[in-house]
Amino acid sequence: MLGNSSRPLRVLIIGQTPPPFGGQARMIQALLDHPMPGIERRHVRLAYSREMTDIGKVTFGKVLHLFGTVVRVLWAITTFRPDVVYYPPGGPNRAPVIRDVLTLLAIRPFCRRLVFHFHAGGLADVWRRGFRSRIAAALFRRAFFGADAAIVLAESNRPDGEVLEARLVFVVPNGIPDEAGRFAREPREVPGVLFVGVHLESKGVVVLAEACTHLWDEGLDFTLTMVGDRPEGVEERIRAAVGRHADRLRLCGVLLGDDKWREFAMADVFCFPTFFEAETMGVVALEGMMFGLPIVATRWRGLPEVVEDGVTGYLVEPRDAQALADRLRTLLLDLKRRAEMGKAARQRFEQRYGIDGHVERMREVFADVVF
pLDDT of residue 63: 81
- How much is the mean pLDDT over the chain? 93
pLDDT of residue 21: 77
Q: What are 51-75's pLDDT values in tens digits?
A: 545 455 556 667 888 999 999 999 9
pLDDT of residue 52: 46
Closest CA to 282 of 162, 198, 183: 198
CA–CA gap between residue 25 and residue 32 (Å, rounded)? 11
pLDDT of residue 319: 98
pLDDT of residue 308: 98
In this prediction, the residues of the chain whose per-residue pLDDT falls under 70 are 1-5, 49-61, 187
What DSSP element (H or E) covers 295?
strand 295-298
Say what the pTM is. Answer: 0.92
CA–CA gap between residue 55 and residue 61 (Å, rounded)? 13
> Quick check: 305 and 154 in contact, CB under 8 A?
yes
pLDDT of residue 188: 80
> Quick check: 266 and 192 in contact, CB under 8 A?
yes
pLDDT of residue 358: 97
User: What is the domain partition of the chain in residue ranges?
Assistant: 9-176+355-370, 180-352
Q: What are 223-239's pLDDT values in tens digits?
A: 999 999 998 899 999 99
CA–CA gap between residue 218 and residue 245 (Å, rounded)? 12
pLDDT of residue 57: 58
Classify domain 180-352 at the CATH superfamily level.
Glycogen Phosphorylase B; (3.40.50.2000)
CA–CA gap between residue 339 and residue 292 (Å, rounded)? 8
Fold equal for 9-176+355-370 and 180-352: yes
Q: What is the largest CA-CA distance in the chain?
A: 68
User: What CATH architecture is 9-176+355-370?
Assistant: 3-Layer(aba) Sandwich (3.40)
pLDDT of residue 47: 82
